[in-house]
Structure 1
Amino acid sequence: MKTIVKAGFAAALACAGLAFAAPASAQSVQIGTLVCTVQPNVAFVVGSVRNLDCSLRPATRSTRAGKYAGTIRRFGLDIGMSGKQTLVWGVLAPTRRVSPGDLAGTYVGASANAAVGVGLGANALIGGSRNAITLQPISVEGGTGVNLGLTVSDLTLTVR
């Protein structure tokens, strides 16, 4: 079990490194931070579905705060149990002027996470309005549980 957890942490860190290394479009600017609360979950071997309660915290005055309901689906190796978690993404957009509904839509990307107690995860996702929004690159997964995941992820956000 210890070897599996170490491999999961290494995969999460590698995914995070790749996400940091891949530069965003030269036209993208950070407009804020998306903070999501995830309810406790039991994950099965082939994937999981989790509901999220999210809010956009603007980095500039030209971006408005917004609240979103979300569902994240993970397909691949996703095993374990987790308590309540918090995911945090930096939000990049082609312009500083983003309305609250602009983050609504579907995002896809890769995820890696591991936890024994507090977890670490990397979830690099692209999508939203006109596929122009990027959620970069690490979502810090703070929570309790025992979990290992190497998955393709699908996040859907709707305005609340």
Structure 2
Amino acid sequence: MIQKKNKTQMMVLTSMIFATAIVLAIVENMLPALPIPVPGVKFGLSNIAVMYAVFFLGRKEAYTVALLKAGFVFITRGAVAAALSLTGGVLSITVMIVLLFVFKDKITYLVLSIFGAVFHNIGQFIVITVIYTGMNLWAYFPVLLISGLAAGIVTSTLLRFIMPAFNRLA
């Protein structure tokens, strides 16, 4: 966790992490689509910033970044996308925080990232199954689990490379 900061410093740092999440989301949207014939599967690069907030800022700041991200998604892509973002983000952060609490220093960022990504997808799946109640979407569930595994590996690896830049913000 970052050394104790006053409220203003934490607010500014949280805002900078949120801004980084937005930039990463925009960069990801500019990249060519993955060669996977499955809608909605992507790496979730903006979750790198959320993971940093979970690991180094604190629970409140991580949830704040997720809430702000969902607000940004609402403004740019609408209510359904915002519900997906919010539910996936909150579930992901909650699972990572619980794992950090239970396993303390015995769990790696890679494992946390994988669990975070998988549970982000599970949260999104829950929202989609509520919205599209008449459709059988369970065939899509294994795809989400596998893509969550891949996304967790990618975001954890990228976080390791981006961490020095994040640390300079603090």
Alignment TM-score > 0.5, same fold: no
Range into which the TM-score falls when normalised by the shorter chain: 0.3 to 0.5
Q: Which is richer in strand? A: 1
Q: Which has the higher contact order (CA 8 A, sep 6+)?
A: 1
